[in-house]
Amino acid sequence: MPVRHGIVLPYHGGAGVQPPAVSIEPSVSCYYYYARGDETGACLRRRRLETKKGFLAFWLPSLPAKKNRREVVSTDLWERVCDLLEQGRSVCLATVVASEDEDRVGRHLLVLSDGEVEGTTGLPELDRQITRAACGALADLRRGWVMIPEGHRVFLDTLAPETSVLVCGAGHIAVPLAKFARAVGFRVTVLDDRPDFAHPDRFPGCRVIARDFREALAEMPLGSHWYVVVITRGHEHDAECLEAVLRRPTAYVGLIGSRRRVGFVLEMLGRQGTPRDRLRDVFTPIGLPIGGESPAEIALSIVSELVCVRRKGPGQARLLRRAVEEGS
Amino acid sequence: MTDREVFEKVVELRNAGVATCLATVVGAGGSTPREVGAKMIVCADGTTYGSVGGGCGESQVKSAALRVLLVTGRPELVEVDLTDDLGTRGGDVCGGRMWIFVEPMHRE
């Protein structure tokens, strides 16, 4: 028999007392109580029963009680959203959060960047109006709620593919860098040609590639939601990585190194034909100027820069740096 | 937790047969601890993933989630008022207001 999940609450009332479910507060400690299916029978509605230690158990129905029964959210919607984001597509998930027509509340519409629509609110005219608003929200990556006649309040949740960080070079700075970048919500890929360094054990939760830089980069699906941090062990590898990365659009490229080393690499790439304006886009010296010295401090300053670019744009990150340089 | 991680968790919990609610900040005015779009999952046993801002507002959301799961089965729009006077003990003093939509993720 399938296991059904229930909830058990401290119980002080006598027999026949209505379950205090309406006034459940999080401060009431709840205990998980696993019951076998045959203990609950075929009952799908909420019910209560005494348990051994003076607790009251509620079975969670797998469907709402009959009088409230209605079409509920199919979680396949969320699987679909995950799939689309995985494919690198942006979507707008529209949800009716308030409405004079109560049956609309909780209905979803999924609008894709090409205007394709999945799901329905049950009202074709409302679907059309939501689609129009969602396309606008997708165009400028806006999220928020809008009022749609007659009396529907709709939340437009614009979801873009997660921003990804590519770390070229898996040395001592890469370890804290990958960790911090994960913590602030980036998907992280680490690349190095040394399998001992590019080892999954060093980078939990990250995609780790141990392969020749040039070969691996040729196959990377880089794009405008990618942030690339170049911190390899030598300037030849830095140049190799930059040359491959700067051919494609990215949100951010940063290069570690002393002014001398960095100047040499950029100069060489310029001579070899990498467009000068792309070279000017490279953030170097890398990281916000917080005075970092240790590997973890340097990693923190780099990740701070990534967050700044993600939230406020590259202009703000350069402005911060200039302000510090002029101030010192 | 990123939006995608939240959605993946919703799917994972669904597949494990756990009843959950998704809470999303859908509207905000003034200073608030989280931005519009922030999400939190509330399970039937009170476990949460993600955050809609912490503090008393979050307890309000957890209460609503349990009510939705155990009683009504219908989504709710919860208004969280963060305009307590400065110095209020345990008060929410950010100065703004948030609207959080709490919806059940039932398994059909």
Share above pLDDT 90 across residues of chain A, in percent, rounded to a whole number: 60
- Residue A185 at interface with chain B, using a CB cutoff of 8 Å: yes
Tell me the residues of chain A between 271 and 310 that have a Cβ less than 8 Å away from chain B. Answer: none
Amino acid at B32: T
Confidence of residue B17 (pLDDT cuts 50, 70, 90): confident
pLDDT of amino acid B93: 64
pLDDT in tens, A295-313: 999 999 999 999 999 989 9
Closest Cα in chain A to B73: A64
Instruction: Please state, in angstroms and rounded to a whole number, the distance separating the CA atoms of residues A320 and A300.
Output: 16
Which residue from B63, B69, B74 is facing A60, i.e. has the nearest CB? B69
pLDDT of amino acid B87: 65
Q: Mean pLDDT score of chain A, rounded to an integer? A: 80
pLDDT of amino acid A76: 81
Which residue from A4, A72, A145 is facing B26, i.e. has the nearest CB? A145
Instruction: Please state, in angstroms and rounded to a whole number, the distance separating the CA atoms of residues A118 and A107.
Output: 12
pLDDT above 80 (res A36)? no
pLDDT of amino acid A75: 53
Confidence of residue A31 (pLDDT cuts 50, 70, 90): very low
For chain B, how many structural domains are there in total?
1
pLDDT above 50 (res B14)? yes
CB contact under 8 A, B106 and A62: yes
- Residue A93 at interface with chain B, using a CB cutoff of 8 Å: no
Residue with tokens 């709710």, as numbered in its chain: B76
Q: In what order do the strands lie in the sheet with A3-10?
A: A31-36, A3-10, A55-59, A48-50
pLDDT of amino acid A166: 97
B interface with A, Cβ–Cβ below 8 Å: 1-4, 7-8, 10-11, 14, 17-19, 24, 26-27, 36-37, 44-46, 59, 62-63, 66-67, 69-75, 77, 99, 101, 103-108
pLDDT in tens, A72-96: 455 588 889 988 988 878 899 999 9
Show me where the domains of chain A are located: 3-68, 76-159, 164-327
CB contact under 8 A, B17 and A21: no
In whole angstroms, how far apart are CA A260 and each of A32, A97, A238, A257, A285?
Answer: 62, 57, 13, 8, 11
CA A223 to chain centre: 17
SS3 A9: strand
CA A216 to chain centre: 24
CB contact under 8 A, A26 and B59: yes
* Contacts of A143 by beta carbon, 8 Å cutoff, 6+ apart: A137, A155, A156, A157, A158, B36, B37
pLDDT in tens, A192-249: 999 999 999 999 989 999 999 999 999 998 888 899 999 999 999 999 999 999 999 9
- Min Cα distance A36 → chain B (Å) is 14
- A88-97, A249-258, B74-83, B90-99: least confidently modelled range: B90-99
CA-wise closest residue to A263 among A284, A289, A240: A284
Which residue from A75, A81, A155 is facing B105, i.e. has the nearest CB? A75
Instruction: Please state, in angstroms and rounded to a whole number, the distance separating the CA atoms of residues B102 and B81.
Output: 16
Element housing A326 (H / E)? helix A314-327
Instruction: Please state, in angstroms and rounded to a whole number, the distance separating the CA atoms of residues B21 and A279.
Output: 48
- Residue A34 at interface with chain B, using a CB cutoff of 8 Å: no
CATH number for A164-327 (one of 3.40.50.1370, 3.40.366.10, 3.40.50.720, 1.10.4160.10): it is 3.40.50.720
- Residue A85 at interface with chain B, using a CB cutoff of 8 Å: yes
Instruction: Please state, in angstroms and rounded to a whole number, the distance separating the CA atoms of residues A206 and A200.
Output: 7
pLDDT of amino acid A73: 52
* Total beta-carbon pairs less than 8 A apart between chain A and chain B: 122
Q: Which domain holds residue B80?
A: 3-104
Are B107 and A79 spatial neighbours (Cβ–Cβ below 8 Å)?
no
- A1-10, A195-204, A266-275: least confidently modelled range: A1-10
